[in-house]
Amino acid sequence: MKTIMDVINFIIHAPGSLSVYLAVGALLFAIGFFGFFRHRTLVGMLVSGELILAGASLNFMAFAHFRAADPVVGQAFALFIMGIAAAEAAIVLSIMIAVYRNYHSIDARDLKEMEG
Amino acid sequence: MTIHLTPEILNTVTVTLFFAGVVAVTLAGAVIAVAARRLVYSVSGLALSFMGLAGLYVFLNSPFLALMQILIYIGAVCIVIMFALMLANPKDEPSLLPHHVLVGLSYLLVAGMLAVGLMMVIAKSHWMPKAVQINSGTVEDLGRALLTQFGFAFELISVVLLLAILGALVVARSGRRSQS
């Protein structure tokens, strides 16, 4: 009975507990990691990379909100991650268009000119 | 034993239900983004996941970050990926699991082990005690910190974005002349 009440208590107070956010961040990272290997196209790999970055910034935000003396640091870091991710997406997409022009495919397995 | 439904408890339960919904949207979107066979669904799942993440940011007391998440990630990054998808028009992924079932299962196994290991680390570790917060993390505090404490990084990231735009233009333009 006590453990059931403990579980209910934990679930009720989930929005205010650090480990729940960390767990969500870890799951996002693991899902993105899986997708990075499963997807065969460059777009799919880019999407998975964005998921990994999202998990990282959720971790920063959670620690800044629950533990840090200055919660602004986490928000600023997440903003910078957004900027980097936007720049990365622009570069990757332009590379993809250049690759498509040369190979007429964005399947990662077709790009094997340098394969030994 | 009975639980009396006072307004306070009801409020907490409502907040918790919203939180559970937001977490479910985040994870479901991520799974769709990874598991979908068509890339358009994949990008849509990514947008859904970012929507849930914006909700999580609201729970973390930073609504400005939530709005930026929607504006930049959903409004810009996902749309740009969608445009590139339309330009390149890739074939749908031929099979759900790449070249062999065992290879796909091993990817799943590695990712699952990663998730379980991270969960165990999270459950076992004792974080340092909560520090006394010197501000409440409002938009005003964030703006002041961005232009004073993080002023250099702020300027640097604008240079990075400018270079990324120029680089993207150069890379996407190169090779166009040789074709025509």
pLDDT, one tens digit per residue, over B91-111 is 655 544 456 778 888 888 999
Structural domain count of chain A: 1
Whether A70 sits inside 8 A of B135 (CB atoms) is: yes
pLDDT for B50 equals: 95
Per-residue pLDDT at B7 exceeds 50: yes
Which residues in chain B are contacts of A96 at CB distance < 8 A?
84, 88
Structure tokens at A94: 């332009």
The pLDDT tens digits of the residues spanning B73-89 come to: 999 999 989 988 887 76
For residue A114, tell me if it sits in a domain: no
Name every chain A residue with its beta carbon within 8 A of the beta carbon of B58.
none
Position B2 scores a pLDDT of 62
**Residue A29 confidence (pLDDT):** 95
DSSP state of B75: I
Per-residue pLDDT, B175? 65
H or E element at residue B168: helix B151-173
Is the predicted pLDDT of residue B139 greater than 70, yes or no? yes
Q: What is the share, in percent, of chain B residues with pLDDT greater than 90?
A: 53
Average pLDDT over residues B42-61: 94
Token pair 């250099």 in the structure block, residue: B152
The pair of structure tokens assigned to A13 is 């107070």
Across the interface, whether the CB atoms of B43 and A43 are under 8 A apart is answered yes
What pLDDT does residue B180 have?
Answer: 46
B91 interfacial to chain A (CB closer than 8 Å) = yes
Res B173: pLDDT: 83
The Cα angle at residue B114 between residues A106 and B33, in degrees rounded to 5: 35
Asked whether B28 and B46 are in contact (CB, 8 A), the reply is no
Residue A40 lies in a domain: yes
In a domain, A4, yes or no: no
Is A66 a domain residue?
Answer: yes
Examine residue A97 and state whether it is found in any structural domain, yes or no.
Answer: yes
Q: Which of A62, A72, A100 sits opposite B135 (nearest CB)?
A: A72
**Per-block mean pLDDT, blocks of 10 residues, chain A (116 long):** 79 83 94 89 89 94 89 92 91 86 76 68
Determine the Cα–Cα distance for residues B25 and B33; give it in Å rounded to an integer: 12
Q: List pLDDT tens digits, range B115-127.
A: 999 999 998 888 8
Closest CA in chain B for residue A29:
B115
Which domain, by its residues, includes A43?
Answer: 15-106
Q: What is the dihedral of CA A4, A65, A82, B58, to 10 degrees?
A: 60
Tell me the CATH number at A86: 1.10.287.3510
Taking the CA of residue B109 and the nearest CA in chain A, the distance in Å comes to: 9
What backbone torsions phi and psi does residue A41 show, to the nearest 5 degrees? -105, 160
Interchain proximity B65–A75, CB inside 8 Å: yes
Single-letter residue type at B157: I
d(CA B154, CA B3): 51
Instruction: Please check whether residue B21 touches A, CB under 8 A.
Output: no
Among the ranges given (A16-20, A50-54, B26-30, B61-65), the one the predictor scored with the smallest mean pLDDT: A16-20
Contact call for B72 and A30, based on CB within 8 A: no
Of A12, A26, A71, the CB nearest to B12: A12
Q: Does residue A7 belong to any structural domain of this protein? A: no
* Residues of chain B positioned with their CB less than 8 A from the CB of A28: 26-27, 30, 49
Interface of A with B in 53-112 (CB under 8 A): 54, 58, 61-62, 64-73, 75-76, 78-80, 82-91, 93-98, 100-102, 105-107
